[in-house]
Amino acid sequence: MRLTAVKKDVDRKLAERFMTPERLASFRGCGHEVGDEFVCEPVAQPEGMCPWAWADVESFVRIAAFEGRLDGATPPNSWVRWCTDAFRPVSFLIEPLEEEADPEA
């Protein structure tokens, strides 16, 4: 499976409202960047991926790996899911590798 970071956001207003001034002083966006790719087995966290993000998307990695379908998804058998960090979420495209998608290849 391949996971690709497709969107990264920082909600500074939300952070200003709910973080202490001390925590806000060191607040930064997530370390992942749009375009970061991770290749993994369905049940193994990819090296270098944030463990919190993995916890949020892992079940959809398994769904895609075992041919769970989402009607109208492109590419086929893909999912877009995000980490649930309200202050700095990252969205990931989850898709099978080409050799996984076509066993005849």
pLDDT digits (tens, 9 = 90+) for 47-84: 999 999 999 999 999 988 887 777 788 888 889 999 99
Rounded to two decimals, what is the model's pTM?
0.86
Q: Judge whether residue 103 has pLDDT over 70.
A: no
Q: What is the mean pLDDT of the chain?
A: 89
User: Which of 18, 4, 14, 23 lies closest to 79, judged by CA?
Assistant: 4
Written as six digits, the tokens of 84 are: 């649930």
Of 70 and 15, the structure prediction assigns the larger pLDDT to: 15
